[in-house]
Structure 1
């Protein structure tokens, strides 16, 4: 078990205490009148460790004030503590100071900020190093829980209190609860794979949906009942018999109508009409067949000549392009010839340079023999260049003559052959187009032939007879159709009455299904109610077991962790009770302190850490319960205007 003891505490200019040093024993009492600084000692200790006062405030005044309540500046505010941690002594110290600076252009220094220095065993540490050391030594919240008897019940959130108690005692499992009460035997099967919490959510959702449906079913039954149609005085068998009789009458009239529509004369006339129309088609086909063949052949000839014309045009285009290319070659050659002429003129003007008679090195004339050799070489080179130039000129002229001859031959081919061939093809195409137009006109004039006109007149006579025959039967057919429609209307009315029975059967079936559904869902709802009751019994049993298990860890206090609601539900809570009296219901200070010590004893046993316990208003407690913790009692004593320490 980790044991932390406070051996000594030194205060310098801290909350009005100018200089104070206290040595602590296992049981130390500090006496003083009100406002003499007893609580300041505890504030100094918590500020040294956690930057907060004993009420958990971070922003509180630690400076010493003058008689007018103003801070006295340029003082260092220091708290130093000697601690024993598992027998090893360590010193912690914290110094809070003002920072004064002189700004440019000002005579006096100004307070610009504050700074805090941290020390461990007189070794200066960075703030984060110091805080890390403290947190590794003891968690802040745990420190407050085991050093202040009132912290658990008055400053610790009830949900955290409850969670801490369950952690100390250990939670009660669902299996423990179910096995402790025989009435909960069926709960496991009811829960299946779900937890109590999830099952409760599921039950409530299912109950809500079932209630909605059960409330809706009577309304649906009422709607189905209202939807049933009145069949008073109607008999399905009689109605079906009437329908059969009337439908037989309709069939008789339908047969008569068919006979009238397909009368003997009309049938014969229709046959004659069909035969004449067939003969007209044959006349048209026979007379058009030869013309169609001629027209097809003519179109084939036109197609061939168009291809020939296209070929001639392509040849003309090709030859024209060749002429242009050859003319370009002539122009190039003429440029070359002109250049050669210019070069020949230049060569004729070249003479041996007189300056070359002198040696470039010594400036003297070359010897006559060397000079004659140089002149002979120059004249020979000039003669060879002129000869080469004249040869190139001659060759170029020959090439120009050859190309111009080729151009003339190509132009002759275009003008003397291809253009004539093109003109012949175009003339032939004009003749073929004229012949094609005449054949197309012949096709259109087939219907003007004598044969066709006579047969057409015969067809018109048959059609006139057919119209007269139809006119005489139309009136009789119309009268029969009117009678059929009247009888069909009677059948439709009877069928509408008959359908009422089918509709009522569907509504009766719907009502039966709704009543069966109501019974089924009522049974399901009852099963859910039974399951809900089992869960409520489970929760009550678990509450009782958990409270018993937690309360067994304490000697003087007990805890109420659940509140029973009017509707049978259970709410979580955490209420401390001391000797049967709730903590927040008039419990006196002595009971609150001793109850807190009992809680601290249990916490120490659980976390295996002991730290100094500060008891404020100790004068109200005549006797403290036993505890292994180091005790620091802060006692109000009006006679002690200055603090007095007894160990």
Structure 2
């Protein structure tokens, strides 16, 4: 077993401790009022050994500071730890120095250096390698302070606890009950958590449309009802098809009788069509001149309307230019006014010479030449040095103020030149905007006048077009009148003949409708057959899914029961290691099956974080690092902060503790250290 005992701790410039030297024994009590530096002593020790504070947090804000909270720079933080390690004295000194850039005075960061028995360990890595030979840094933290362990996240705390117990395998849990034997084969596919997840996914689905076996089973009754709607009376459909086929035969017989009548009707209709074509050609010849004249007039109107559209677009652009120019005038005028106001303000500004006058009026304070301790005048060489330093300081401050005044004047002239340049640009922009506005006004007036003239001309042309006849006068054409009379005669003759084509079209429509009805009834028969097959298939699926779901639920229940048994066994093994602390590692939900992983120390059933009394917390704070020391076979100093909660009764419970114990107690007294071996 590796054993380390803290014998001495020296601290300089660490937190609120300027300098202190402490001796330690196997049982050490550090007492003092609040803010007297008790916790700071523990933090200095932890910082030296692990580069973190006693509670495991990062070692920030360890530099001494003044009453306003400002860090004190240019002093080194030093802590020297003297340990007895397996009978050998080891002195570890850690120094933190600030790193400054000499030329700029910029702070770069802190540098940590180590001395081990006077031998330098220049890098953090070198010291960690040295410590690793004694005890690894992460182990050192949790073996010396419970706060460092409790600061770890839940997963890290659980892992540290499980590392202390022999591996509990799934086979160990299976061996606990024959009920778990089927799980042994299932574990070949994955871990318990993965198997539970797989069964849950199969039962409930993965979301986004996948509802799992439950959802599929719930959907089947609706799908069966929907499929059942497609089942029809097949005998009724077959009888309807026979009736429709008989009606088609009757229509076909009627069409044969219409064929003879249709021959005479078609001949007369062809003669009428020929005469109408001849009359149409004659009408086209007589109307050709009039049509051309109307086209010419329409072309003139289209040309004028195109010109009007062009003028309207030009007017719209001019109006936009006018609007933008007006806005630009307002903007440029406002900008010019602002620049003029800025020029006036900068011109009237001046540098405050009061600091220069004040520095020039300063007089040397002769009292600084008197020693504050013995009240005697200092030696002449010191007085000369003090006076010289004062004069050089005064001259430097005066030079700085004069330089600042010069920089002010230079900046002022630069600003004025820039303001004048900006003013010239704003004035030029204002003038340009005003010119654009004037041009836009002229163009708008011209466009409106031209549009008025064009509109009047277009209206005039359209009136002329409307007055022109749309077709030629056929009353003076003898040939046209003769053809029209012949067409009327032929139509009168045709009206006395049955319209066979119309009747044939009616028969064709009726026949097509009858065929469509037959196909519809055939589709009903096919649909009914398919629906019956679909209902049978859905019922088969319902039985299969219900059985699969029942199997999944049974496996899931067994897996959860197995997992709970494993959780109980893990918790029991961990708790056997501790003297006072009992760990709650799993918290089961209300269903008694699902759980979440936690890592909470308890004492007699009360959790550390849930109103546990201070005395019990003190026992846990000692029990945790002491147990880890046994597990890692080391003996290290255990630090307990707020140790006033350790009563005589509590102390009696831990009197047989092997390792060194350091208690930090709040008390109404100066900082004192009591120790015994």
1:643 equivalent in structure 2: 672
Structure 2, gaps ≥5 residues long: 206-211, 255-502
2:583 paired with 1:559:
yes
Structure-2 separation of matches of 1:71 and 1:63: 6
| Maintained 8 Å contact 2:27/2:661 | yes
3-state DSSP class of the match of 2:668? Answer: coil
**Contact residue 539 and residue 570 of structure 1 kept, 8 A:** no
Q: CA deviation at 1:510?
A: 0.8
Deviation at 1:110, TM superposition (A): 9.7
State the match for 2:525 in structure 1: 501
* 1:149/1:594 contact within 8 Å kept: no
Q: In structure 1, the residue corresponding to 2:143 is in which secondary structure?
A: helix
Q: Match for residue 236 of structure 2?
A: 234
Closer/same/farther in 2, CA of residues 204 and 116 from structure 1, 3 Å limit: closer
- Any residues of structure 2 matched to 1:155-304 within 5 Å, and which? 155-189=151-185, 193-207=189-203, 208=205, 209-229=212-232, 234=236, 236=238
Which residue of 1 is the match for residue 546 of structure 2?
522
Shift of 1:482: 12
Pick closer, same or farther for the CA change 1:20–1:490 going to 2, 3 Å. Answer: closer
1:382-393 equivalences in 2 (<5 Å): none
2 CA distance for matches of 1:19 and 1:243?
A: 117
Specify the SS of the correspondent of 1:169: coil
Residues 50, 141 of structure 2: 8 Å contact kept: no
Asked whether the equivalents of residues 644 and 666 of structure 2 are also in contact (C-alpha less than 8 Å), the reply is yes
**How many aligned positions are there?**
422
Write out per-residue CA displacement over residues 200-254 of structure 1, whole angstroms, 9 at most, x where no aligned residue.
22212211222232233233223222233465x7264x5687799899999999x
Seen in structure 2, the aligned counterparts of structure 1 residues 246 and 125 have a Cα distance that, compared at 3 Å, is same
Instruction: Name the residue aligned to 2:60.
Output: 60
* 1:578 counterpart = 2:608: no
How far is the alpha carbon of 1:184 from its aligned partner? 2.6
C-alpha change, 1:76 and 1:599, in structure 2 (3 Å) is: closer
Deviations 1:450-489 (A, max 9, x none): xxxxxxxxxxxxxxxxxxxxxxxxxxxxx99999998897
Q: Deviations over 1:553-575 (max 9, x none)?
A: 22221111111112331211112
Query: RMSD of the TM alignment (CA)?
Result: 4.0
Of the three residues 643, 648, 663, the one matched with 1:633 is 663
2:556 maps to 1:536: no
Distance 1:498 1:617 in 2: 93
The one of 610, 616, 624 equivalent to 1:599 is 624
User: Are residues 634 and 480 of structure 1, via their aligned partners in 2, closer, same or farther at CA, if it must alter by over 3 Å?
Assistant: closer
Please show how residues 26-425 of structure 1 align to structure 2 within 5 Å. 26-65=26-65, 74-97=74-97, 115-128=111-124, 129-153=126-150, 155-189=151-185, 193-207=189-203, 208=205, 209-229=212-232, 234=236, 236=238
Query: What is the Cα deviation at residue 529 of structure 1?
Result: 1.0
Shift of 1:533: 0.9
For residue 59 of structure 1, report the CA deviation from its aligned partner.
4.8
Cα separation, partners in 2 of 1:645 and 1:499, compared to 1, 3 Å: closer
How many Å apart are 1:84 and its aligned residue? 2.2
Query: Could you report, residue by residue, the CA deviation over 1:468-524 in whole angstroms, capped at 9, with x for unpaired residues?
Result: xxxxxxxxxxx9999999889767744643443332121111111112111211111
Q: The residue matched to 1:170 in structure 2 has which SS?
A: coil
Residue 42 of structure 1: how far off its partner (Å): 0.9
User: What is the aligned partner in structure 1 of residue 570 from structure 2?
Assistant: 546
Determine which structure has more spread, i.e. the larger CA radius of gyration: 1
Structure 1 residue 130: Cα displacement: 2.7
* Paired residues of 1:6 and 1:84 also in contact (CA < 8 A): yes
Q: Deviations over 1:404-427 (max 9, x none)?
A: xxxxxxxxxxxxxxxxxxxxxxxx
Query: How far apart are residue 100 of structure 1 and its match?
Result: 7.7
Change (3 A) 1:77 1:213: closer
Measure the CA separation in 1 of the matches of 2:73 and 2:186. Answer: 73
Whole-Å separation in 2 of the counterparts to 1:113 and 1:493 = 94
1:177 Cα shift?
A: 1.5
* CA–CA distance in structure 2, aligned partners of residues 482 and 66 of structure 1: 111
Q: Given the superposition, is the C-alpha separation of residues 89 and 103 from structure 1 closer, same or farther in structure 2, using an over 3 Å criterion?
A: same
TM-score with structure 1 setting the length: 0.57
Structure 1: 5+ residue runs without aligned partners?
Answer: 254-478
When residues 538 and 87 of structure 1 are mapped into structure 2, their CA distance, relative to the original with a 3 A threshold, is same
Cα deviation digits, residues 227-286 of structure 1 (max 9, x gap): 33465x7264x5687799899999999xxxxxxxxxxxxxxxxxxxxxxxxxxxxxxxxx
SS at match of 2:229: helix
C-alpha contact (below 8 Å) 1:190/1:531 kept by paired residues: no
Query: What is the rounded CA distance, in whole Å, between the counterparts of 1:249 and 1:197 in structure 2?
Result: 77
The worse-fitting range, judged by mean Cα deviation, of 527-536 and 241-250 is 241-250
- Pairwise CA distance, 1:113: 6.8
Aligned counterparts of 1:604 and 1:500: Cα–Cα separation in 2? 84
Kept in 2, the 8 Å contact 1:214–1:521? The answer is yes
Counterpart-to-counterpart distance in 1, 2:569 and 2:109? 57
Q: Is the Cα–Cα contact under 8 Å of residues 149 and 593 in structure 1 kept in the other structure?
A: no
Residues 81, 93 of structure 1: 8 Å contact kept: yes
CA offset at residue 90 of structure 1? 1.5
Question: Could you say what secondary structure the match of 1:186 adopts?
Answer: helix
Secondary structure of residue in 2 paired with 1:634: strand
Match of 2:540, SS state, is: helix
Asked if structure 2 preserves the Cα contact closer than 8 Å seen for 1:92 and 1:121, the reply is: yes
Stretch moving more, 160-169 or 75-84: 75-84
Contact 1:604 1:610 in 2 (8 A): yes
Structure 1 Cα separation of the partners of residues 214 and 583 of structure 2: 38
- CA–CA distance in 1 between the matches of 2:69 and 2:632? 44
Q: TM-score, normalised by structure 2?
A: 0.55
Q: C-alpha distance in 2, partners of 1:177/1:169?
A: 15
* Cα distance in 1 for residues equivalent to 2:87 and 2:72: 39
Q: 1:248 to 1:139 in 2, by over 3 A?
A: same
Q: Deviations over 1:389-408 (max 9, x none)?
A: xxxxxxxxxxxxxxxxxxxx
Displacement of 1:188 after TM fit?
Answer: 3.5
